[in-house]
Amino acid sequence: DSSTLTLLVGRLLADEQIALYNCAVQPLEGGFSGSPLYRVQGQANTSAGVKPWSLILKVIRLTTGSQEPWQRDYWKRELLVYQSDLLADLPGGLAAPRCLGITEQAAEEFWLWLEDLGEEDETVWPLERYALAARHLGEWNGMYLVQRPLPAQTWLSSTADIRQRLALAEPGIAELPQLSQHPHLAKFLADDSVARILRLWAERQPLLTRLDQLPHTLCHRDAFRRNLRARQGPDGQPQTVALDWAMMGIGILGEELVRLFGLTLLFFSVEIGRIAEMDARIFAGYVEGLRAAGWQGDARLARFGFTALASLLMGVGDPAIKLPR
């Protein structure tokens, strides 16, 4: 309604005496959660003259995720993140979109109003920018290793969900030898791919046990290229803005790099010939961020957390392949 929208835009423009006109709504392509997204924009008469404005509306519904708070896709998590103080004191290099307000609708539906960061940036990031994003994430992770206690909210996600994902993958893993002979799949499972996947699968329990023993920290848990934007912060320094906090939770040391590396490659955002270089650069940036936060532990722990979890998630946790009967 117009009164609510006027209040929200007033917060955006830091002006309580405004009048809106030329308002328009544009549907946007959403992410994997299925939550509808809209750009709501227009012009406003303000005390300083006419100003354009734009907001992003994210509609959060019960039907867009799990009802269990401990599930990785709990439908209400991002809403609760913005209602908490967990995003209030991010380190200077890391930011979240500003929340202008939350309006409750009928039948378990909430409207989350966020600042508009503009159209999706299609610019190809140089590897140095990925390394900087990793540094910003590392500094934030490091704060919860040495400076702050871990948050205790029961609705935060957890690295424990890896076991659920592996359980879902198990039927497909068992069929891999057979699938590797299928004419439509053989080219994707060529050479020694199946043997390597099965060898990794056989080692999953020892790896999970060792992963559980790593230091835990607060993580975004979905920080890959499509969920990251680059901009200048208020101090004029480069800033990484992380979108979509719906998977935020307690993770392990090094976990933040898993999706920054794996999902960025999955969307072909980095040249295949530079994968090893990207690996080295983002890991060095991440450790630099940990050190900046004051963590002085063994960097090999972060390396193990990153590589072992990436292997399980991207190597055997996601491709739960099963042919239709």
CA distances from 158 to 22, 143, 212 (A): 44, 18, 11
Given a cut of 90, is residue 312 above it in pLDDT?
yes
Given a cut of 90, is residue 199 above it in pLDDT?
yes
pTM, two decimal places: 0.91
Question: According to the model, what pLDDT value does residue 289 have?
Answer: 98
At CA 307, angle to CA 304 and CA 313, rounded to 5? 125
pLDDT tens digit string along 204-251? 999 999 999 999 999 999 999 999 999 999 899 999 999 999 999 999
pLDDT tens digit string along 104-139? 998 899 999 999 998 766 678 999 999 999 999 999
Tell me the range of 23-32, 65-74, 193-202, 205-214 where mean pLDDT is highest: 205-214
CA–CA distance, 165 with 160 (Å, rounded to integer): 10
DSSP β-ladder status, 249-252 and 157-158: parallel
For 285, counting Cβ atoms within 10 Å of its Cβ (0-12 exposed, 13-18 middle, 19+ buried), the class is: buried
Question: According to the model, what pLDDT value does residue 61 have?
Answer: 92
Question: According to the model, what pLDDT value does residue 229 have?
Answer: 94
Question: According to the model, what pLDDT value does residue 320 have?
Answer: 36
Question: According to the model, what pLDDT value does residue 321 have?
Answer: 35
Q: Which of 65-74, 189-198, 215-224, 240-249 has the lowest mean pLDDT?
A: 189-198
Question: According to the model, what pLDDT value does residue 323 have?
Answer: 33
Q: The tokens 């030329």 sit on which residue?
A: 22
Task: Please spell the DSSP secondary structure of 205-218, one letter per residue.
Answer: HHHHHHHHTS-EEE
| 239 vs 264 pLDDT, higher one | 239
CA distances from 74 to 23, 27, 232 (A): 33, 24, 32
Res. 322 pLDDT band, cuts 50 70 90: very low
Round the average pLDDT of the chain to a whole number and report it. 91
Q: Which two tokens stand for residue 282?
A: 């983002």
Longest dimension (CA), the chain: 71
